[in-house]
Structure 1
Amino acid sequence: STESGISDFRSPGGVWSKYKTVTIQEFISDREKRIYYWKYKSETIPSMLKAEPNHAHLAIGKLDQQGKLFWLLTQNIDGLHKKGGVDKKRIVRLHGTNREAICLSCNRVIDIKTVLERVDRGEVEPKCEKCGGLLKPNTVSFGQGLNPEHLVIAEKASMECDLFMALGTSLQVFPANSFVDIACSNGKPVIIINRDPTPYDDLAKYRLSESLAEVLPMII
């Protein structure tokens, strides 16, 4: 989603070059870490909420509307795939979403805008209004496991697809990068489109480094 104006995490100038990471264990146990985490989120999420799908998102949405999209496995936490026209039933949000907050005690899910408004009013570590538990953006933090059901779907999709496309990803993060291996080991052709090299480029049948927003609509 960088071409929608959203910073990535690992590139120079990305999110992790500006903010310190907070593990899930630190978030739960350390009030100062929670305050820092919500400050960071309150500074970064509003611009994400204003972002619009770019031509790559819209091309994937078109693919879904044509009945050609099997599953969309995404590490993005911005929600732009749904906004770009992909049916939410086919989206596997491996790393969650910044558009929701979740209570770590009762699992209540709340619109993130509501929680950010509370932070803006001075509530530095917002709590669940139902049970008093800690609220956190509904994303997967460092030290936090991925949803096992999502992993099962992703592995099955990688084995059963006709074509596996890795789009706009550095393929440096496990287990998401392992799905390329799974697809290849099951004889599925792989296309990688990313501006920078990835560790899996040699496995790809086709490897493109052009702008995803420019080249994907031409392919689809």
Structure 2
Amino acid sequence: MTGFHSSPDQPPRRPLIAILTGAGISTDSGIPDYRGPNGLWRRDPEAEKLVAYDTYMGDPEIRRRSWRMRQESPAFRAEPNAAHEAVTRLERSGTPVRVITQNVDGLHQRAGMPDRKVLELHGTVRTVTCTRCHARSSMQEALARVASGEPDPPCLVCGGILKSATVMFGERLDPQVLGTALGVAKAAEIFLAVGTTLQVQPAASLAGVAAEHGARLIIINAEPTPYDALATEVIREPIGSALPRLLAGLEESV
């Protein structure tokens, strides 16, 4: 590749690689996606109500169902897969890597990515937050209370309604996290969109922003996306094998 190296008396400069990940990167870990052919929303359209903010806040039965769903969530049993591990290997090689994820499962961090290099656009399922006083605590603590007989556990600080520290339908993304993600997209020289339909905004727009600012855009997804025409490469192969191979090639070439 050209344009990625400094003068001979300086160490080579490696390009910034940004990796936007969606639900498809975690399906090999046993976490189903949402909008794919066998996705959660297609199998159970009613499930969307459980993560709609206004419905959640206004209906105690929806909250009780949400807590039961969290008790059964595969996210807490899931382990990082080969794709997550490949991203961590690339970062540990010394290549500048930033992960921007639409996922809430925390598997990038579980695979060893430093917290500061992972931008969780939609929050995390591993923490709960109070909708009144904004106190945060462990999801596992809240689930233990549910298992002990509290079907809709209130905040222990102020008695307010607790929710997962994820961005529900009807909530805005954290403007600071989104702003940082935009900055990464503009600065990236290589931008990968992995396992995402690129249909949920504003996350999806990051691929377009990166391409507009000159990044080489690579999309790995089972189905077509609205941004395929902007990509220099579109890969339809299984993520668990395609991403490790691609990242190993990028590490060698930069």
What's the TM-score once normalised by structure 2's chain length? Answer: 0.82
Shift of 1:85: 1.4
* 2:239 aligned residue: 212
Distance 2:79 2:56 in 1: 30
* 2:201 aligned residue: 174
What's the TM-score once normalised by structure 1's chain length? Answer: 0.95
Which of 4, 7, 13 aligns to 2:38? It is 13
* 2:56 aligned residue: 27
Gaps of 5+ in 1: none
Shift of 1:101: 0.9
Contact between 1:70 and 1:157, CA under 8 Å: does it hold in 2?
A: no
The alignment covers a number of residue pairs equal to 218
What are the residue-to-residue correspondences of 1:83-98 with 2, within 5 Å? 83-98=110-125
- Aligned-partner SS, 2:97: coil
Question: Which structure has the higher relative contact order (CA within 8 Å, separation 6+)?
Answer: 2
Percent identity at matched positions?
A: 39
Contact between 1:164 and 1:183, CA under 8 Å: does it hold in 2?
A: yes
Distance 1:6 1:31 in 2: 26
1:118 correspondence with 2:145: yes
1:37 correspondence with 2:66: yes
Contact between 2:90 and 2:97, CA under 8 Å: does it hold in 1?
A: no
Residue identity matched to 1:30: D
Tell me whether 81-90 or 6-15 shows the greater mean CA deviation.
Answer: 6-15
> Deviations for 1:79-125, whole angstroms, at most 9, x for unmatched residues?
00001111110111001111111111121211111111111222111
Gaps of 5+ in 2: 1-25, 248-254
Distance 2:237 2:48 in 1: 30
Residue identity matched to 1:105: R
Which of 155, 162, 168 aligns to 1:128? It is 155
- Aligned-partner SS, 2:137: strand
Shift of 1:36: 2.0
